[in-house]
Structure 1
Amino acid sequence: MNFFMSLQNNIGKAIRALRSQKGVSQEKLALETGVGRRYMSDIENGRRNVSLEIVEKLANFFELSPSDFIKQIENADFPPLTLDSLKEYLCEHGYEDSVVLEKPDFADAVVGVSENGRVIYAYEKMVRSLMLSDGMDYEEAAEFIDFNTLGALPSMGEKAPIVLMEIEG
């Protein structure tokens, strides 16, 4: 398989994953973005190239910047982390006592595990997850996380998750 075929497949995988997270059909995505349903099907199945115009329309639909949409495409080769696969990984590595965020699970915001088994989440990915899954805007998602998640971390003990926040410079 050549590079372009792989890239085409990754675009399709990324679109399917984002559609699934947002709970929309292929038909609705095609209608909302102005891309023909058959063409959208071909894109998702790796049979069509995508113009920058379509990338921009898709990014807008999924409320992502074009660069974040491209990151989704780049990561499409890896199966998405699920709550179950995260727990399985932790158990396999002797971290069964790690605290995992479950409601919402934020599995798509996990960026690693510390040496002592603390699950590491990226704050911005947590916000994006709520925006996609629950239809919140940025401020609503940030407020939810700040109050319900960050506020609860101190009571979760020594195996509490770590939430990484970007430093603005």
Structure 2
Amino acid sequence: MNVRQTIGWNVRRLRVAKGLSQERLALETGIDRSYVGRVERGSENVTVATLEAMAAVLEVEVKALFDPVETPDSPPPSLPSGRKRKTG
């Protein structure tokens, strides 16, 4: 697994753990949603500024995006599809 794939894997893992969609992560970081998808697939060369913005929204240090992937055979889970129900 190369560095871009490792970053993408960790972005997706952390994003899903926080319950954020790609669209929400993109909105909060000020980048395009399709760019987030390309980062998660490991097909985008990410800038340091983008890594900092993503880490801030994900509430982790930038170095967490470089953590080694322990189980590369099983991809991080997806969020349930559809919109969240409004409460209250």
TM-score (norm 2): 0.73
Aligned to 2:8: 12
Q: Cα RMSD between the aligned structures?
A: 1.8
| In structure 2, C-alpha distance between the alignment counterparts of 1:61 and 1:24, rounded to whole Å | 10
The runs of at least 4 aligned residues of structure 1 exceeding 3 Å deviation read none
- Following superposition, the deviation at residue 71 of structure 1 comes to 3.3
More strand by share: 1
Larger radius of gyration: 1
- TM-superposed CA distance for 1:19, in Å, is 0.9
% identity of equivalent residues: 38
Aligned residues: 72
Q: More relative contact order in 1 or in 2 (CA 8 Å, sep 6+)?
A: 2
**Post-superposition shift, 1:74?**
2.4
More helix by share: 1
| C-alpha distance in 1 between matches for 2:71 and 2:37 | 20
Match of 1:49, SS state, is: coil
Cα distance in 1 for residues equivalent to 2:65 and 2:38: 19
Partner of 2:84: none
Task: Tell me if the contact between 1:9 and 1:45 (Cα under 8 Å) persists in the aligned partners.
Answer: yes
Q: Which residue of 2 aligns with 1:34?
A: 30
Unmatched segments (≥5 aa) in structure 2: 73-88
How big is the shift at 1:35? 1.1
Unaligned runs of 5+ in 1: 81-169
